[in-house]
Homo-oligomer: A and B are copies of this chain.
Amino acid sequence: MAGRRAVPQIVESISPASCTVDHRLEVLHGLPFFQHLPHEQIAEINRQFHAYDVEAGATIYFSGDPAERLYVVAHGRVKLLRHSASGQDTLLDILTTGEMFGTLAALGDLTYPDTAEAQTFCCVLGIGAQEFQTILERSPDVAVHVLGIVAKRLQEAHSTISQISATPVEARVAAALVKLSEKLGVEDERGTLIQTRLSRQDIAAMTGTTTETASRVMSQFRRDGLIESGRQWIVVTDLPRLAEIAEVA
């Protein structure tokens, strides 16, 4: 059938060895909010970070856990989600190299409101809340950068809220695919491959619907030639048209 073939994803072969001191330094250097700090200061900051290897599927912290550290993804993908009493999970974000999470820890909150789960094998760098706060207080421009990141995320969250409450599922799924292909997309001979394992359930959790509905909508997209997909992989073949569907919001 059209749109089916062997798993096209690049198998991620990150060995725990990738979390070397060198790699850490490189990642920290690459962070937009540390970028213009002098090398020596980054080296000092690096000493305050601790590296953790996390198995795919493992939980980095759980909603309700005491919020004692803030993390930066050094390698791999981390899912940020919320649980609801009814058992339904909502996928809030997928973070990649250089993105931070657990931000509230540094700001006086006692517990994490959401859960962070490794989607792939990950290497994350963690720093104590206290230490990070000290960095922020010492380097105002770092604080301003971090503020910018959080403010941008707030705006994205507001977009999501408005979208979930005012547009039909089809548009939401289309929007999610557009966003994912922009964030995690890799060009491929057939289109844009979303370079991470993503199930229909994940799509459902991102768009506030059910696995079945997500599957139905995506089947339709596949029939319409907008995407190709298989088990946990998606290739977007007609981004403009998808964006158009998403736009009818």
Q: Which residues of A contact B (CB under 8 A)?
A: 82, 84-86, 88, 90, 92, 103-104, 107-109, 113-114, 133, 136-141, 143-144, 146-148, 150-155, 157-167, 207-209, 247-249
By Cβ-Cβ distance, the 5 closest A-B pairs, closest first, are A165-B208, A157-B157, A143-B143, A82-B162, A90-B162
Q: Mostly helix, strand, loop or mixed at chain A's interface?
A: helix
Determine if A86 and B143 form an interchain contact, defined as CB atoms under 8 angstroms apart.
no
Q: Hey, which chain B residues are within 8 Å of A159, CB to CB? A: 82, 113
Q: Hey, which chain B residues are within 8 Å of A144, CB to CB? A: 107, 133, 136-137, 143
Interface centre among A88, A164, A166, A208 (most CB of B within 10 A): A166
- CA–CA, A161 to B83, complex, Å? 11
Q: Hey, which chain B residues are within 8 Å of A146, CB to CB? A: 147
Determine if A155 and B113 form an interchain contact, defined as CB atoms under 8 angstroms apart.
yes
- CA–CA, A113 to B151, complex, Å? 12
Q: Hey, which chain B residues are within 8 Å of A164, CB to CB? A: 161, 164-165, 208
Determine if A84 and B163 form an interchain contact, defined as CB atoms under 8 angstroms apart.
yes
Q: List 7 A-B contacts (CB under 8 A).
A: A82-B158, A84-B249, A86-B248, A90-B165, A107-B152, A161-B208, A165-B208
Tell whether A143 pairs with B150 under 8 Å between CB atoms, given A82-B158, A162-B90: no
Determine if B85 and A247 form an interchain contact, defined as CB atoms under 8 angstroms apart.
yes
